[in-house]
Amino acid sequence: MEDNRLLRCGQAPLRSLSFVNLPNYITLTRIFSIPVLIWILSSSRFSSTNGERELLASFVFIAASLTDAIDGYLARKRAQVTTMGMLLDPVADKLLIAAAFITLVQFNPRTVPAWMAVIIIGREFLVSGLRSIAASEGFTIQASELGKTKMVVQIVSVVAAIIDHHWAHLPWYFLSLPVHPIALVSIWLMVALSLLSAVDYFVGFWRKIDRHAEKRRRRRSFVLSRRRKRNDVPVL
């Protein structure tokens, strides 16, 4: 999800258009869908007798996840990349991921134990922190292919964990796929990708911050050497 944000920032000039434009409205719908998702999974108003709760929650999560690609595409195509969009997009991503996995710890703990949710959510905070430090130092950390793969696995893992709460196998029109093995494999893969991408981001951050520090040391050494040369000139 965060990879679309980088594309939004990198392929279109930052424009000061209206305070809220269409891509930003779409991003806001992602934020507003978060309490709806939590309400569906936590409230007793929805029944799991025929799987209505699981189907509705899956639909809300998939729709919310797809808005991340849609708002990025529209922002680039319409040249409507704004400061507000750059701020809201990562916040919406992090909130959606955190809300989904925290709720799943309560909703389906046999598939999503708490320690897995901690790793997945912790990775999001780690990457956000690294990017904030990088931005304060004047450089960016490019998204990797692991991040793009993680987004797809994230959608599959959350939906599979929700569906697994009711169905052992999907209905025949979904090829009668075994839900629980799919949910377990995708959740474990999500944890592995979270750890790998966190290491990947940290290595990229460390290399750039090290180069940045080296340039700063060379610049300081150059300035000090020029000062020494001026001070060593004999006074006639």
Residue 37 structure tokens: 């998702």
Q: What is the pLDDT of residues 156-215, one digit of tens each?
A: 999 999 999 888 777 655 667 788 899 999 999 999 999 998 888 888 888 877 676 666
Q: What is the dihedral of CA 201, 147, 92, 81, to 10 degrees?
A: 90
CATH class of 2-232: mainly alpha
200-226 b/e (C-beta count within 10 Å ≥ 16 → b) = bbeebbeebbeeeeeeeeeeeeeeeee
Residues 183, 179: Cα–Cα separation, whole Å:
6
Tell me, rounded to whole angstroms, the distance of Cα 184 from its chain centroid: 21
Residue 65 structure tokens: 């996840």
Q: What is the pLDDT of residues 89-133, one digit of tens each?
A: 888 888 999 999 999 999 999 999 999 999 999 988 888 888 777
Listed residue (121, 70, 77) closest to 96, CA to CA: 121
Q: pTM of the full predicted structure? A: 0.76
Residues 205, 139: Cα–Cα separation, whole Å:
9
Residues 23, 70: Cα–Cα separation, whole Å:
8
Q: Is 167 helix (H, G, I), strand (E, B) or coil?
A: coil
